[in-house]
A and B are shown apart, each in its own frame.
Chain A
Amino acid sequence: MFWCSRTPGIDHRTFIIDGDQSYSFNEIFKLSEEVVSDIPKRSVIVIESHRDLDTVCTYIGALRNGVVPLLVDANLKDEAVARIANSYQAEFVFGSGNRDLAGYESSGSARGKSVYSRNDKPGINVYEELCLLLPTSGSTGEAKCVRTSYDNLSQATQSIIRYLEMDESRVSISSLPLHYTYGLSVLNCALESRSRFVLSDKSWLEREFWSTVEKHAVTDLSGVPFMFQTLRRMRLSENILKNLKCVNQAGGRLEPVLTEYFVNYFLAQDISYFTMYGATEASPRISYVPYHNSKEKVGTVGIPIDIGRLSTDAADGVSEGELIYEGPNVCLGYGYNREDLTLGDENNQLLRTGDIGFIDEDGYATIVGRKKRFVKVFGNSVNLDTIESMVRPVAGNSVALGADDKVLVLITEGDTQQIKNIILENVTFPSRGLKVNKVSEIYMNASGKPDYPRMNAEFL
């Protein structure tokens, strides 16, 4: 398991670089254990995630001490954090200092984080193999989580570092949030491969991010589609390009023309470029496009990782249908409350992805549509039903539609700006991803349910 100590000769090497400070694996492990030393094993802790040393140490400390971390977006409001914590009766919340969390009392601090302690201890033991909880739709403050086991996380991480060919010479950077399954996976991969991980809380749009990349000779960059749209306009300096070894993109669909551009751009610099596909439910990787085939397979999400299998639910298993992934990295199941955390594996390694696609003769999958009511908005997975449940109490008859980087709410009464504000109060994805329009009618199908296909065709 990547969070366990290895021989001293390996673990005295540098792991985390934070500004001018660097910390070896041993030092991080020591700091990590101090953070969670007072937390009983098999407790659940909610961690407000920042791209900083405290978050890294709290997360690693939890894994090392048998504590179950639930990582949440730091931008969530107090009510949302409290709702999530109370759903799981989390024993502790590690957050910023000025939180007012119903059911919790401030009980001191650990490193930079304030610790809030639950007033009523649950007395319900969580399943022994439960490792990690991540929200399915983190940007909307929903409590529903994916239950990941120790084996899920370990196996997925090992498989990823095999295809990325990561070893101890690599240097990654926190370009993505740590509560986001892809962002967390970058940290896990650095730890598994015993390579360096540079902390930065800046975006690709900020000069400081790129000066940090250059200063610490970063070799691996990870981004979601929106970040690559930005990168398309940049000329990375020679001092950055000379160190880069691997650039990878996941978290939604990038236009094939941009993928093609990056494949060629990085190939010319002898840098491998990976398109990858996954889901929080797959801890998080399902497939990737091997870099030596990246040119021929532009537009596909590649082949399954080496521990899994990918098929469709069509009769022949490859024609268009829902993509089905099988592998030891498929999560245990979902959770909504504390009782659910006592459950073992409900999935038996089988994941219905909700994505519609087909598989070509070389085994490469292409996604053509979406079955579930989830969309990716600038890298954030958003549940459209959650958006509807925010709107309906105020606006009555209304629906939420969605596509890549777009959530469209249709209302028949009320003020569009007011409804928009109500939603934005409760979500953390960029406001550009949200539109509210007034229509004369919400279309219903024969069974009296919203006719989403018809409205998608007309309004999206």
Chain B
Amino acid sequence: MSNKQKYDEIFIEVFEISSDQLNESLEYQSIEPWDSVGHMALMAALEDEFDIMLEMDDIIDFGTYLTGIETMKKYGVDM
């Protein structure tokens, strides 16, 4: 599985959404499961999967599906 696929899979698992609900316009609070509690669960899952430690600033700025991809790249995850 590519890192991009793993990234998508984490969104699907953490938010318990179907793959057709996953799209590039997903953002914080755009779907019910992506609230503040869901956000921290997403961060924890990404950290585990890619073996990284996200800085709080990056966690706060991780506002959308797309900005998250940029964040992963910043931490050396090849997307």
Contact = CB atoms under 8 A, between A and B. Distances in A.
Interface of A: 203-207, 226, 229-230, 233-235, 378, 424, 430-433
A432 B56 contact: no
Interface stretch (B2-10, B29-37, B64-72): B29-37
Given A233-B56, A234-B56, A205 B36 contact: yes
10 contacts: A205-B39, A205-B60, A226-B40, A233-B59, A424-B32, A430-B37, A430-B38, A431-B33, A431-B38, A432-B37
A234 B59 CA distance: 10
Contact of B60 (A207, A424, A430, A432): A207
Contact of A226 (B37, B54, B56, B60): B37
Contacts of A226: 36-37, 40
Interface of B is mostly: helix
A8 to B, nearest CB: 42
A432 B13 CA distance: 11
B56 A430 contact: no
Contacts of A233: 54, 56, 59
Q: How large is the interface on B (under 10, 10 to 19, 20 to 34, 35 or more residues)?
A: 10 to 19
A16 B32 CA distance: 32
Interface string B22-63: 000000000011011111110000000000001010011000
A235 B32 contact: no
A396 B62 CA distance: 41
Nearest to B28: A205
B32 A431 contact: yes
A229 B43 CA distance: 12
Contact of A432 (B33, B54, B59): B33
Contacts of A204: 36
Contacts of B38: 430-432
Task: Output the residue of B38, B54, B56, B59 with the most chain A CB within 10 A.
Answer: B56
A431 B35 contact: yes
Contacts of A229: 40
B40 A230 contact: yes
Contacts of B41: 432
Question: Which 7 pairs from chain A and chain B are nearest by CB?
Answer: A430-B37, A234-B56, A432-B37, A205-B36, A203-B36, A431-B33, A431-B32
A238 to B, nearest CB: 15
B36 A430 contact: yes
A206 B37 contact: no
Contacts of A432: 33, 35, 37-38, 41
